[in-house]
Structure 1
Amino acid sequence: MEAPKLNLIRKELQELPKEVLAEYCLRLAKYKTENKELLNFLLFFNERADDYVEDVKKLLDEDFKKLPYSDYTCTKVLRKTIRIMNKHIKFMGNKVFELDLGIHFCQLFLNTGISHTSHKPLIGLLYRQLKRIYKLIPKLDEDLQFDYQQEFDALITEVKTQRNYFSMQDIQ
């Protein structure tokens, strides 16, 4: 059985009464945690996205405080953290918030001191986030581009001081 097109689903949903629509939403939320989290965001945080970003930043802070000492397990924990961060970015659907969270992640990464390691997968996580930020900045309005470019340049300067062999070609 093939899934119908989104346009067809939209038309059918518009014809349903509110009670039935609410029941369908609850059924969706019951079966998958991600659906429940998205519904939570849409109902309670959609108008207060700044508060939601702060909550996600607190989650990132907690994850970085609990990082293990082993490079291998640290990489696994950070991959999970990035997966969770990406899920919340997908909920918000806003490039500015994506940049905020990406920059916050990179700052936490650099402040923990794990950037001094020679473990390539761990450093690759940082470089991928920097590359993501680098590609997002040109997609913003010009006034926001200037502000975020300054933050990005400060991040790059910090990376260069901690990683002697870093060059901009690593993230382009």
Structure 2
Amino acid sequence: MKTRERRQGVVLVHTGEGKGKSSSAFGMVFRAAGWGMKVCVIQFIKGQWQTGEQKAAERFDNIEWHALGDGFTWDTKNPEQDIKTSREIWEFGKQKILSGEFDLVLLDEINYCCGYGWIGGREIADFIQNEKPAWLHLVLTGRNAAAEVIEAAHTVTEMTRVKHAFESGIKAEQGVEF
């Protein structure tokens, strides 16, 4: 494994309407953990919903997992609370990124928070460009990634939905969606 002094930290954004943004990021989480890197996962929306990837991460001693947020907030009844919660998670995420403890940090579904206007894209981009440690890999997922975040990233992938099982009446399935 490259030492931090020799590593170029990469910023990746997974966005778009298609499925697979978080799933792809979790693949990188497990890949990095497999190489012995210390990883932190911070979920902005999921709340306390149990997922298979979180259960799998419990088997690793080098993955720290934080499922935060108030749940699926596009059905929100309290946007002020969603803004407050998102801001608190963002501050927590910045602390983890700056702690020097981690090699890879995943900010899962942070892009939704930008899309809803709860956290500014310029604010996130400025943090990435001016404060993120140069050796740290950072992954940001969710629909509606802000243009400023896309510009600040090294790699951006837009998932495009061609067809989804939900359109055929199939609800989220364990092992596939969670």
Q: Which structure would you say has the larger RCO, counting Cα contacts within 8 Å and 6 or more residues apart? A: 2
Which has more helix, going by share of residues? Answer: 1
Which has more strand, going by share of residues? Answer: 2
Higher Cα radius of gyration: 1
TM-score band, normalised by shorter chain:
0.3 to 0.5
